[in-house]
Structure 1
């Protein structure tokens, strides 16, 4: 298993994995497949270079999973990081890759952040259990947070105190 921070050079592989997640699980992401598929690879590369996205591979080659970490930018929220866009291909689930990605994302955020936030669609029990095992606690429900496939979906808001 290999887990590492992605760079702009990983844009094509990252975009393919992200689009797969958005297409097969539209209820789980704030972004839409239709918006993301239209992004030029150059913009995806720039975003990867500017942000923190961690990728993982079970065989050390093909990208099987990813997770993003966004640090608060303004003075008042610099102590908060947000985890976004976690997706692991079905064939890599149950291998420990999800846990490694999450652990690496937490390690990336904790030197400068006191709190890590994330949201998870209420119907994704496996993800909720993963986050709970890592110490995240549910603190609110955002009712009808997303609209996908003709239905509203609630999101569970979770947080981890890094102190």
Structure 2
């Protein structure tokens, strides 16, 4: 889905595994409080781990000029019968220099579009201090349904996470 002449949102093909891995690790390193995964854990994963992830999951990216990945997000769907009605938006990250021009919004809209074809609602967690992300999600219809205190611990500091959901049906 072209956003303008410079940016496109599309599913990240396995052939772009190196671009994805680089941006994923950048996000984990630069904003560790924004992710449940850690740079330390994921930086040791082999290239094949990321290749398989891209092959088997709905992982989308924002590309600048068709070859530079500046944003990523994924939709996880459970194969379990009792959980198929819920998808999870995870791994959302936009490079700092690409923020502020609605790329995150376009990426989430793409996730919503795909989710509507396969599930009944989208869940997500977002660190409580990320006011801009919470504001974006609310503008797109996500509803807060709780807070998990001390959801993440990074060194000696705890971070609360806001739980959000978007009903699709």
TM range (shorter): over 0.9
Deviations 1:8-62 (A, max 9, x none): 1111100100111000111110000001110111111011101110000233320
Say which of 79, 85, 88 aligns to 1:73.
Answer: 79
2:161 pairs with 1:155: yes
Please list, as runs of the form range in 1=range in 2, the aligned pairs for 1:55-70 lying within 5 A after superposition.
55-70=61-76
Q: Which runs of 5+ in 1 are unaligned?
A: none
Report the equivalent of 2:90.
84
**Is the Cα–Cα contact under 8 Å of residues 138 and 157 in structure 1 kept in the other structure?**
yes
Alignment of 1:26-105 (within 5 A): 26-105=32-111
| 1:123 matched residue in structure 2 | 129
Contact 1:57 1:97 in 2 (8 A): no
TM-score normalised to structure 2 length? 0.94
Farther off after superposition, 78-87 or 1-10: 1-10
What residue ranges of structure 2 are gaps of 5+ in the alignment?
1-6
TM-score of the aligned structures, taking structure 1 as reference length:
0.97
What CA distance in whole angstroms lies between the structure 2 residues aligned with 1:98 and 1:154? 22
Alignment partner of 1:135 is 2:141: yes
CA-atom RMSD, angstroms? 0.9
Partners of 1:70 and 1:83 within 8 A in 2: yes
Quote the residue 1:113 is aligned against: 119
Deviation, 1:88, is 0.1
The number of equivalent residue pairs is 163
Q: What is the alpha-carbon distance in structure 2 between the residues aligned to residue 138 and residue 69 of structure 1?
A: 19
